[in-house]
Chains A and B, each alone.
Chain A
Amino acid sequence: MVEWTDAERSAITGLWGKINVDEMGPQAFSRLLIVAPWTQRHFASFGNLSSPAAIMGNPKVAAHGKTVMGGLDRAVKNLDNIKATYAQLSVLHSEKLHVDPDNFRLLADCITICAAMKFGPSGFTADVQEAWQKFLCVVASALSRQYH
């Protein structure tokens, strides 16, 4: 069972409340495809991914970024039960999508960087970063749980 301190809970829900999912989802996801281009392997059907500009302007990339953030919303709303909340999503990523779990860590890092850019030193303090990264680590772990 994951133990959250009150400070961590409030940092995570507080940050999430300020995040514009429709903005950050596409930003984080396009950053992933640019910074770690091997992750493009799952998105052959997305059309033009040939340059950073193409990726950042690609509507399918943007849509998928929003989908991923929607998944994170469920985790924020179920902080004490992320593992169970993500059981089916985990099976989906393993059995159907065949995503290497290391990719979850890569995307989490991109989301963290987008949050740092958005909220700056006063909004994204070291303590907020600690809570946020712990949260994303739990999410990644839950997503990898059903792999076999």
Chain B
Amino acid sequence: MSLTAKDKATGKAFFNKVSPMAEQIGEEVLSRTLTVYPQTKTYFSHWKDLTAGSAQVRKHGLTVLQGVLRAVELIDNLKEGLLNLSELHAFILRVDPANFKIISHNILVVLAMLFPDDFTPEVHVAVDKFLSQVNLVLSEKYR
């Protein structure tokens, strides 16, 4: 399910439009991940405050979203471009790759929720495909 030229163009245009709201998007994505999929809290046992809207959730949500935006810039060469991120997740964070799907789902939900007029079915499929590729590349170094 590789990205066509049209997918890339659609994805880039959409993310350009939504990037000014990166902080709000990131916060919503991470809050929903922690609330709707409570098993994900196991990765943050060292945090003091896991409630939605807390400073740590906001900061880390933005970090994750900025990673996604960076991937959009590197959309023509995800494998090499995200090499460092893949190594980080594989060797240091050791996040089970099943969680990438969870975050991707919540990214789609939040983008739809905040941009209902722009998140058409065509944009939806392009973004879904893009996130699937990112997940694949992030898991690249795991074994």
Interface residues in chain A, defined as those with a beta carbon under 8 Å from any beta carbon in chain B: 30-31, 34-35, 52, 55-56, 109, 112-114, 116-121, 124, 126-127, 129-130, 133
Contacts and interface: CB of A to CB of B under 8 A. Distances in A.
Contact of A30 (B110, B121, B128): B121
A116 B121 contact: no
A55 B106 CA distance: 25
Interface string B99-116: 000000100111011101
A127 B109 CA distance: 14
B32 interface: yes
Given A109-B105, A117-B113, A117-B119, 5 more contacts: A31-B121, A35-B121, A116-B109, A119-B113, A121-B114
B121 A34 contact: yes
B125 A113 contact: no
B116 A34 contact: no
A35 B119 CA distance: 12
A31 B35 contact: no
A130 B124 contact: no
B44 to A, nearest CB: 15
Contacts of B139: none
B78 interface: no
Given A121-B28, A121-B114, A133-B36, A112 B124 contact: no
A53 to B, nearest CB: 9
Nearest to A124: B113
A112 B122 contact: no
Q: Which of B119, B121, B122, B124 has the most CB of A within 10 A?
A: B121
Interface of B: 28, 31-32, 35-36, 52, 105, 108-110, 112-114, 116, 119-122, 124-125, 128
Contacts of A120: 113-114, 116
A117 B36 contact: no
Nearest to A131: B36
Given A35-B124, A56-B121, A130 B114 contact: no
Nearest to B106: A129
A123 to B, nearest CB: 9
B36 A126 contact: yes
Given A113-B112, A120-B116, A121-B113, A34 B32 contact: no
Q: Which of B36, B108, B116, B122 has the most CB of A within 10 A?
A: B36
A66 to B, nearest CB: 18
16 contacts: A30-B121, A31-B124, A34-B122, A35-B124, A52-B122, A55-B121, A56-B121, A109-B105, A113-B109, A113-B112, A116-B109, A117-B116, A118-B116, A121-B113, A126-B32, A126-B36
A114 B128 CA distance: 15
A116 B108 CA distance: 10
